[in-house]
Structures are given as C-alpha cells and as structure tokens.
Structure 1
Amino acid sequence: MQLTTHTDYSLRLLIYLAVRNEGMPATVQAAADRYRISANHMAKVAQTLVLYGYINSQRGRGGGLSLAQPASQINIGAVVRRTENLRLLECFGPNSTCPIDPACRLKNILGRAQTAFLEVLDEYSLDALVTNEDELRMLLGGA
C-alpha cells in the first residue's frame, strides 16, 4: 500500500510539531522549508490537521501551528484513516461494477491486508515516532 503525499506530509508535520522545542508556534513556511516541500501543500495539510483536531492554528503576530493534544494521544492509525482514501479498489465502495464482486476472493484478501496494515499503525502514537527527538530536531535544522 502506498500512502498519498497528503498523508505523508500530515505525518511529517505532526513529527515536526512534536519535536519543536521553541516556545513559539511553528509557521507553515518553516515546516515546509525544513522538509523542502511546497508551502502551499503544507498549508493544505495543516488545514486538514486543524479540521480533525490534531493541530491548532493561530493567525497573526505570534501565531502559527502547534499540536492540539499531547503526542501520546495522537494515534497514527487514526491519522492515516482520516487523511487517506482507503478504498483500495473500486469494489471497496458501495457502487461496484465488477461482475465478479460477489464471488471475488481477492477483495477479501486485500481487505484483510489493509486491516492488518491499519492495526499495526493503531499500535503507535505520535510520541513513539519521536523518541529520538534530539536526532530529529538536529536533522530538521533545530526545528
């Protein structure tokens, strides 16, 4: 399974915010610069994460992005479920046009594989991804 860029950037932004040691919130531009990605893409990702309650966004002087909850409460499986289109195949939706859908074993196998994938992600929260925060902070230029 390949995650979309949106999910990838969502996880990256959460990691960035989790390892910041400055008192000031992070800016979209700073996060985008650290990962060498488009600020426009990062802004869209930030909007999504604000919508789902993972981060806070404050406008104006002294504003920026920060985690909305402790890293230990941000479940990676839940983030992926919210940011990713988990419909692997057309037949995973309600309007399948595949003629073999009622007898298809591949659909069931792929469904089980996807469930297993998500169950592994459910075992981790954001804090588990940043146990090496000093190294991550250094790699992100001081974050």
Structure 2
Amino acid sequence: MRLSTKAQYAVRALVSLNLFDEGSPISIKEIAAREEISLTYLEQLFVKLRRGHIVNSVRGPGGGYVLARPARDIRIDQIIDSVEETLVPVSCMDDDGTCSCTSQCVTHSVWQGLGERIRNFLSSITLEDLTREARGKIGQEQS
C-alpha cells in the first residue's frame, strides 16, 4: 500500500511549519521552497488543511499559516484525513472498513485488520513527535 503525495507533502509541510515556527505566521511560499514542493500544489493542500482545522490562515502583510492547535494535539491520521486520503488498504473497502463482498470474501478480515493497524499506528504519532525527530536530525547534521 502506498499513500499519495498529498498525504506525504501535507505531513512534510506541517512538520516544516512547526519546526520553523517562531511565533509568527509562515508563508506557504517559504514552506514550498524549503520542502521543494510545488507552490500551487501546496496551496491546494493548505486549503484542505484549513478546512480540516489543522491550520489557520493569517491575511495581510506578514501573513501566512499557523497551526490551529498545539502540535501535540495534531495526529498524523488527522492530517491525512484532512487532505482526503483514504486509509483503507484495498479498493473494495469503504472508508469505514466495510465492504459489499464481505459475505463471500475470505480475506476481508485480513484487510480490515490491516486497515485498523494502519490507522492505530498513524493516530499514535503526533506532529510534535515528528517535529522533535526533525530537530534531532538537524542537530546531528550541524554537529
């Protein structure tokens, strides 16, 4: 199973936003340049992240984006859900893990269990966890 670039880029961008947060909004242009992500693509993701109550936008000079709540309260599964990614491992399953062919599918329980484990894993990691890890890597590179 592979997540799309929407999920990957959204998580990377939010780690960058949190990592370089100095109390003022960060422009999406700055995040796009730092993460080498298309500005247009990132703008589309941030619209979804704002609708998902992950980030808030600040208009005007010096505007940009800030986290809508503390990074310790933002889970990775919430970020992925905000950019409309599905966390189900096979195409026949709905987002809630149900499937129309459950009665005749002998492997359904395998895929359902996998989907639950993926969601549990992603919900166990916060944006703060990833930011802490990124700070550690930056510290190692500077040593």
Query: TM-score normalised by the shorter chain: which range applies?
Result: 0.7 to 0.9
Mapping 1:36-75, distance limit 5 Å: 36-75=36-75
Residue 101 to residue 133, structure 1, CA distance change in 2 (3 Å): closer
Classify the secondary structure of the residue corresponding to 1:77: helix
1:137 positional shift: 6.0
1:130 positional shift: 1.3
Tell me the residue number matched to 1:115. Answer: 116
1:14 positional shift: 1.1
The 8 Å contact of residues 74 and 125 in structure 1, kept in 2 or not, is answered as yes
Alignment partners' CA distance in 2, 1:54 and 1:44: 14
The 8 Å contact of residues 20 and 137 in structure 1, kept in 2 or not, is answered as no
Q: How high is the TM-score relative to the length of structure 2?
A: 0.82
Mapping 1:26-45, distance limit 5 Å: 26-45=26-45
Amino acid of the residue matched to residue 6 of structure 2?
H
Classify the secondary structure of the residue corresponding to 2:107: helix
Aligned length: 136
Amino acid of the residue matched to residue 75 of structure 1?
R
Q: Percent identical across equivalent pairs?
A: 26
Which blocks of at least 5 consecutive residues in structure 1 are unaligned? none
The 8 Å contact of residues 19 and 137 in structure 1, kept in 2 or not, is answered as no
Mapping 1:1-143, distance limit 5 Å: 1-83=1-83, 84-93=85-94, 96=100, 101-135=102-136
RMSD: 2.4
Alignment partners' CA distance in 2, 1:133 and 1:95: 38
1:57 positional shift: 0.7
Between 1 and 2, higher relative CO (CA 8 Å, sep ≥ 6) is seen in 1
Alignment partners' CA distance in 1, 2:137 and 2:25: 18
Amino acid of the residue matched to residue 25 of structure 2?
P
1:95 positional shift: 8.1
1:58 positional shift: 1.5
The 8 Å contact of residues 130 and 136 in structure 1, kept in 2 or not, is answered as no
1:111 positional shift: 1.4
Amino acid of the residue matched to residue 123 of structure 1?
S
Amino acid of the residue matched to residue 44 of structure 2?
K
Alignment partners' CA distance in 1, 2:138 and 2:24: 15
The 8 Å contact of residues 19 and 136 in structure 1, kept in 2 or not, is answered as no
Query: Runs (4+) of structure 1 moved beyond 6 Å?
Result: none
